[in-house]
Amino acid sequence: MRHVSIKDIARAAKVSHPTVSRALRHSPLVRSETAKEIRKIAETMGYRPSAIGRSLATRKTNMIGVVVTTIADPFIADVVRGIEDTANEFGYSVFLANSNANPDREIQVVHSFHERRVDGILVAASRVGALYVPLLSRLRVPIVLINNQHPDEPDEFVRSVMIDNIKASSAVMSHLIGLGHRRIAYIGDKSGFQSDTERFAGYRRSLELASYAFSPELVVHGDGKAEGGLQAMEKLLQIADPPTAVFCYNDMSALGALRTLCAQGIRVPADISLIGFDDLAIASYTSPLLTTVRQPKQQMGRIAMQMLLDTFSGVESKSSIKVEGELILRESTAPPSWCDGNAN
Amino acid sequence: MRHVSIKDIARAAKVSHPTVSRALRHSPLVRSETAKEIRKIAETMGYRPSAIGRSLATRKTNMIGVVVTTIADPFIADVVRGIEDTANEFGYSVFLANSNANPDREIQVVHSFHERRVDGILVAASRVGALYVPLLSRLRVPIVLINNQHPDEPDEFVRSVMIDNIKASSAVMSHLIGLGHRRIAYIGDKSGFQSDTERFAGYRRSLELASYAFSPELVVHGDGKAEGGLQAMEKLLQIADPPTAVFCYNDMSALGALRTLCAQGIRVPADISLIGFDDLAIASYTSPLLTTVRQPKQQMGRIAMQMLLDTFSGVESKSSIKVEGELILRESTAPPSWCDGNAN
DNA sequence: TCCAGTTCTGCACACGTGTTCAAGTGTTGA
DNA sequence: TCAACACTTGAACACGTGTGCAGAACTGGA
């Protein structure tokens, strides 16, 4: 026999297995001396309850599934950490699955979670398109999307947490414009994803508000990773009239851009200002330190998990939460070189 | 009724539930037309088998547990990615749990995995002490430790994957010594962990082999993170006769050290050479690019998972695997400044 | 001593799937 | 026509836990 079951204990204690079940769960229905005796025997026999058996009986697994594009992304890793901490605190275990940014794989993973009867699903930075939410909804499992990359319609089962991109993006632009920059470039992600779209929207709106011209050649798309930022910056430097400041979609892109600038001997921020988004740990260790927008990554994970827990316990909660970013001023931004310290 | 079960399908198809079970699993025991009909009905009813029920019957969960200190560590994130990819490929789901480097929590997590009846457990960078392996072994669950931080005795249930620290460390030192450095510092992790101990052993042995003096003041302990490296480097710079090269326990420490050097206007590698360990993604985006030892992180995860799979299928395999690091020469090392290009 | 009420215990079933075994049906060959 | 065989199906049970309900055991009061 592989594992001790309550039936084994029942035999040893000369009682029935329901009595054991109740004793172990401290039910008041069982005489306290009997219960104590049973628990002692269980302890001696090295009993560990089977979550499988329990799940089958209670129709509750205390498991949640987390889908990420890739856990190797430091942004996502932080979010997952927040999720896992909260989940663990409340007795939930976390399934982790990488979709590798492959929509088919992502859907397959969700089905696998469904078959395991997880109590809820969290999805970080989904890359799946418009039909996704209805598909998820059909599973009738509570779901929270974190920084979902496609606009989602409200839904009974699908909730969401995301950062207020437009607001944060506007803060970035205010900072740069306030320093005196007029030619500000934008290095984005691959086209079509929501956080890119929204941050770009904030960029454009800020230019308009300041009555500055929008120059399409100042907008370059990377891939959200360092390599893309590196190449995007190379392109920007080839323009006849290059920008004096660059707003990067995220810190990884900024890191790549910084690399290009450094390799070409261009000083940051003396020659060009650079600003990122996310506030990854690395942003505090680059040279110069990177000015960026802090996303409360762990907290977003905690909030998402908390939304699930609320759903489980029937607490009514908002179907969509927007968190605020915070502009972190460090060393990578300064007034443009032609500007002697005071803007315009 | 919440989920469709094989009994529901059985009713609809006017057969018994064992027949449905067999039909869905393409058993040759059921007539092919019947099977086809049953599968059609299952499809129509939106049936998804319950992994819970199946696990209970088969005593196999196709789940594995992964314990990490924290998923926010980029080294560990890469390892986990390798694990998850391989697991997914073979139909296994992965539980992820952070121990936050807290031994009690780590043990608690292992028990939780045990209760969920995972088929195997992977532990990355365990911080639990000597009694750990016997404890794990008592669970009678196959376990693979990855870069375990305490020396482990061979055991029937507990296997391990680790990097050959001494060899890699020696390669680092050969490189620095070959460049002409004689005063080489070592920035370590907190004392007492195996990878630190071994890398330090390689450091000392290399000095001995070269007949260079070992100076205790050149050895400083950080915390394995950037902050620790930063402070350790500050200490090193206060020495009367500072080192011309610094071997950092890992890339995060090196990143911190680099920050200190940069802040104090000390040029790398012109004034001081710096070398890391791990080859994190960031190492390719620092200025200067960081020379380091590449650990095959994802591959280590794959190997560990493969060892579990081998155990499941009864394949005999080695109980301990050592993988080799690879010295990656980039820009952060050069001959010492007093040395005109040719060593000694 | 007996009854009513309380406290405790066990039977039977449920949850969803898989497997063994016996029995049913149809086929082939003598 | 019958036996031997292959093919197909379903009854019964297993896996480990939880729960409604009936009944047993105990308690206290008259």
| Average pLDDT taken over every residue of chain B | 93
What are B110-164's pLDDT values in tens digits?
999 999 999 999 999 788 877 788 888 888 999 999 998 887 777 888 999 999 9
Task: Identify protein residues whose C-beta is within 7 angstroms of any atom in strand C.
Answer: A 14-16, 18-19, 22, 28-32, 34, 56-57, 59; B 2-3, 5-7, 17-18, 21-22, 24-25, 49-50, 52-54, 56-58
Beta-bridge partner residues of B14: none
DSSP assignment string, B239-303 = SSS--SEEEESSHHHHHHHHHHHHHTT--TTTT-EEE-SB--GGGGTSSSPPBEEE--HHHHHHH
Reported confidence tier of residue B339, pLDDT bands at 50, 70, 90: low
How many beta carbons lie within 10 A of that of residue A290, not counting itself?
Answer: 28
What are B103-117's pLDDT values in tens digits?
999 999 999 999 999
Sign of CA dihedral B190, B192, B194, B200: positive
| Six token digits for residue A86 | 């909260």
**Residue from A246, A245, A264 nearest A338 by CA:** A245
What's CA B186's distance to the chain center, in Å?
23
Q: Which domains does chain B have, with CATH numbers?
A: 6-49 (1.10.260.40), 61-163+296-324 (3.40.50.2300), 165-291 (3.40.50.2300)
Range A223-251 burial, b when 16+ CB lie within 10 A, else e? bbbbbbbbbbbbebbeeeebbbbbbbbbb
What are A46-63's pLDDT values in tens digits?
999 999 999 999 999 999
Alpha carbon of A29 to those of A8, A36, A42: distances in Å?
21, 13, 18
Residue numbers of A between 207 and 246 with CB closer than 8 Å to B: 226
- Give yes or no for residue A343 having a pLDDT over 50: no
- The one-character DSSP state at B129 is -
CA of B311 to C1' of C9 (A): 44
What are B11-37's pLDDT values in tens digits?
999 999 999 999 999 999 999 999 999
Measured distance CA(A157)–CA(A143) in Å, rounded: 6
Q: What is the mean pLDDT of residues B79-103?
A: 97
Judge whether A95 and A40 are in contact, CB under 8 Å.
no
Cα torsion through A83, B306, B73, A88, rounded to 10:
30
Q: The tokens 């090392």 sit on which residue?
A: B333
Residue A44 touches partner B, C-beta closer than 8 Å: no
**Residue from B52, B37, B46 nearest B1 by CA:** B46
Determine, for residues A71 and B70 on separate chains, whether the beta-carbon distance falls below 8 Å: no
Nucleotide nearest to A58 (CA to C1'): D18
- The one-character DSSP state at B121 is E
Reported confidence tier of residue A156, pLDDT bands at 50, 70, 90: confident
Determine, for residues A84 and B71 on separate chains, whether the beta-carbon distance falls below 8 Å: yes
**Residue from B220, B205, B103, B83 nearest B146 by CA:** B83
- Give yes or no for residue B274 having a pLDDT over 50: yes
**Residue from A69, A68, A60 nearest A84 by CA:** A68
- Give yes or no for residue B60 having a pLDDT over 70: yes
Nucleotide nearest to B1 (CA to C1'): C15
